[in-house]
């Protein structure tokens, strides 16, 4: 249920259209920088992290959206349950197990995150840049989960059915065109 009386059937685009001058374009640009630019982590792995953070936070909207993007980028679909990710599946890439352990710690116990957690990520073959990307995706999705849950957006509403090919071409800044069109027509 929406926490904004002026938008009773609230969804993400409606929220962004309501507040376009509140840094939405830079936020979408940051999404692209973190999730789509070059990284030691594949796009699918970064989308997996976004979905995992969202599962830990019980944010259905973000979990559903990023699960679908992760699958489009080659993450096995059988890793995903109903608002959860099965970390015990044998087809979870071994290098992602310490990454997701780090992500879990940073999400549920931020002050408890220590050098041993980081070292496990390094031992999986990631550099400091890779660890920074893990931290950045984790932080971004804790932030986004709070925005959606705080606004009362509880369910993912598909605005368009996207094919896997469309998801692989997708940039988060593409939303700005849709948001801008909606703001002009308002």
Give the pLDDT of residue 158. 63
- What is the percent of the chain with per-residue pLDDT over 70, rounded to a whole number? 95
Give me the phi and psi of 163, to 5 degrees please: -80, 165
Instruction: Find the mean pLDDT for residues 153-179.
Output: 82
pLDDT bucket at 128, cuts 50 / 70 / 90? very high
Q: What pLDDT is stored for residue 184 in this prediction?
A: 52
Q: What are the tokens at 175?
A: 């939303």
Q: Which of 2-11, 33-42, 144-153 has the lowest mean pLDDT?
A: 2-11
Burial of 182 (0-12, 13-18, 19+ CB in 10 A): middle
Radius of gyration of the chain (CA): 17
Give the pLDDT band (50/70/90) at residue 99.
Answer: very high
Could you tell me which of 155, 179, 161 has the C-alpha nearest to residue 59?
A: 155
**Which tokens in the block code for residue 55?**
């599962």
CATH of domain 12-185: 1.20.1290.10
Mean pLDDT for 52-78 is 95
> Residue 76 and residue 44: Cα distance in Å, rounded?
10
Residue with the larger pLDDT of the pair 146 and 166: 146
Average pLDDT over residues 71-85: 94
Q: What is the mean pLDDT of residues 81-105?
A: 94
Query: Dihedral, CA atoms, 93, 96, 97, 99, nearest 10 degrees?
Result: 180
For the chain, the average pLDDT equals 92
Q: How confident is the model at residue 157 (pLDDT cuts 50, 70, 90)?
A: low
Phi, psi values for residue 154, rounded to 5° = -105, -25
The CA distances from residue 82 to 67, 77, 137, in Å, are: 10, 12, 21
pLDDT at residue 186 is higher than 50: no
Averaged pLDDT for residues 116-134: 98
Arithmetic mean of pLDDT, 75-103: 94
Residue 154, pLDDT above cutoff 50 = yes
pTM of the complete model: 0.92
Mean pLDDT for 31-53 is 97
Contacts by residues 17-24 (CB-CB < 8 Å, ≥ 24 positions apart)? 17/179, 17/182, 17/183, 17/186, 20/179, 20/180, 20/183, 24/176, 24/179
The pLDDT value given to residue 48: 98
Nearest to 46 by CA among 64, 32, 61: 32
């Amino acid at each position: 249920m929406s926490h904004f009386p002026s938008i009773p059937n609230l969804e993400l685009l409606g929220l962004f259209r309501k507040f376009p001058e509140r840094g939405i374009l830079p936020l979408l640009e940051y999404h692209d920088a973190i999730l789509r630019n070059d990284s030691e982590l594949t796009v699918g792995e970064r989308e997996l992290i976004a979905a995992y953070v969202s599962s830990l936070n019980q944010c259905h909207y973000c979990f559903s959206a990023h699960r679908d993007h992760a699958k489009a980028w080659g993450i096995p679909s059988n890793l995903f349950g109903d608002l959860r990710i099965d970390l015990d599946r044998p087809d979870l890439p071994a290098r992602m197990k310490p990454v997701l352990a780090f992500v879990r710690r940073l999400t549920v116990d931020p002050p408890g995150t220590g050098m041993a957690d980081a070292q496990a990520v390094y031992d999986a073959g990631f550099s400091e840049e890779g660890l920074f990307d893990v931290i950045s995706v984790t932080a971004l999705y804790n932030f986004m989960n709070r925005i959606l849950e705080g606004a009362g957006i509880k369910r993912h509403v598909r605005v368009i059915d996207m094919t896997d090919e469309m998801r692989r071409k997708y940039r988060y800044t593409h939303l700005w065109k849709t948001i801008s069109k909606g703001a002009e027509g308002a």
